[in-house]
Amino acid sequence: MPRNNFEEFVRNVSPEPIRYIQRHNRAAHPRGGRTEKRRLPIVKICILASSSAGNSAFIATDKTRVLVDAGLSRREIAKRLAGIGEDIRRLDAILITHEHSDHTTGVAAIVKASNRSIPVYLTHGTARFIEWGECSPAVESFQAGCSFSIGDFDVASFTLPHDAEDPVGYTLTAQGIKVSIATDFGYVPDSIRVHLRGTDLLLLESNHDLEMLRVGPYPWSVKQRVMSRRGHLSNEVAAGFIENDLDTGVSTLVLGHISEHNNHPELVRSAGLKALNGRALFTKLVVAEPGVQSEVFCY
């Protein structure tokens, strides 16, 4: 890797010079471990948007830059990437979880405006439901559950119980750092628990407060759909997952895909904190506020 490229990448992450971290070497010492000093293997993550109004996450190493979902306009995604020192024209791939517009609104425009062919990864079923208009992207469709590589990242997909054609969540692993995106699902089957093991940063859905949904403005049929096993995860179910199943290694937990009508960030925060307190973990809790991009997380 050219040294100046690496340093430019680090500057975009942080004004500090290249940093070193101490990591717990659990693999070498399963009963207690030892700390070792080594060069920081940087993975940079920014949740550009996470709510019922739009979803997109940027995940990068110094060589590979990907988006998971593009549920904002191209212009807005470009603006939010520029805000963290990134250029939308330098994306290496887009991963799509499912066809709902809050995950796909900007994807065709991003592909169309790119002067190089950005591959778009999505399941066979989802691929049939994307309107590409005049652009003809390099579609890399796959069977839900498949794993593959994109540059520095080992990507695994897992099926989600959600009312879309063929929806998936993703884990992306580079240099031993695992980032997991799990939103848009009505309950937590064992297969999802297994896929989320070993995660360092987890974006987990905490969509609605059950009582706010019950008394809220949606028609009853929509309320039933949201609450169903193929709907969205409530604060209560997300808290149950944190209490019982959250991997002890998760250092950052981002609760997101918050409904703007049936939830409030402070309800999400208090339910998440209460659940985490029961575990006595050192996990940092972040609530993805609708309409606001997250801080940049670095590993």
Question: ∠ at Cα 129 (141, 182), nearest 5°?
Answer: 65
Nearest distance, CB of residue 164 and Zn ion, angstroms: 6
Which residue, 44 or 100, has its beta carbon nearer to Zn ion? 100
Q: How far apart are CA 268 and CA 90, in angstroms?
A: 34
Which residue, 50 or 283, has its beta carbon nearer to Zn ion? 50
Position of tokens 């659990």? Answer: 26
SS3 sequence of 163-202: CCCCCEEEEEEECCEEEEEECCCCCCCHHHHHHHCCCCEE
Residues in contact with Zn ion, shown as a per-residue x/- string from 76 to 105 under the rule CB under 5 A: ------------------------x-x---
Which residue, 152 or 184, has its beta carbon nearer to Zn ion? 184
For CA atoms 272, 273, 276, 277, give the dihedral sign.
negative
Which residue, 86 or 102, has its beta carbon nearer to Zn ion? 102
Q: How far apart are CA 203 and CA 55, in angstroms?
A: 11
Tally of CA atoms within 13 A in the half-sphere of 298 that contains its CB: 18
Question: ∠ at Cα 133 (95, 78), nearest 5°?
Answer: 50
**32: DSSP letter:** S
Which residue, 70 or 174, has its beta carbon nearer to Zn ion? 70
Which residue, 88 or 233, has its beta carbon nearer to Zn ion? 233
Amino acid at position 154, single letter = D
Nearest distance, CB of residue 176 and Zn ion, angstroms: 29
Tokens read off for 260 = 């703007």
**258: DSSP letter:** B
Q: Map the footprint of Zn ion across residues 98-137, applying CB under 5 A.
A: 100, 102
Tokens read off for 21 = 């971290």
Q: Map the footprint of Zn ion across residues 169-198, applying CB under 5 A.
A: 184
Q: Does 69 engage in binding with Zn ion (CB under 5 A)? A: no
Nearest distance, CB of residue 184 and Zn ion, angstroms: 4
Nearest distance, CB of residue 83 and Zn ion, angstroms: 23
Other Cβ atoms within 10 Å of 15 Cβ, number: 7
Nearest residue (beta carbon) to Zn ion: 100
Q: How far apart are CA 57 and CA 90, in angstroms?
A: 15
Which residue, 100 or 223, has its beta carbon nearer to Zn ion? 100
Nearest distance, CB of residue 226 and Zn ion, angstroms: 10
Rg (CA), the chain: 19
Residues in contact with Zn ion, shown as a per-residue x/- string from 280 to 299 under the rule CB under 5 A: --------------------
Biggest CA–CA distance in the chain, Å, is 58
Nearest distance, CB of residue 148 and Zn ion, angstroms: 23
Residues in contact with Zn ion, counted by CB under 5 A, come to a total of: 3
Nearest distance, CB of residue 23 and Zn ion, angstroms: 34
Which residue, 76 or 102, has its beta carbon nearer to Zn ion? 102
Nearest distance, CB of residue 278 and Zn ion, angstroms: 28
Applying CB under 5 A, the residues found at the interface with Zn ion are 100, 102, 184
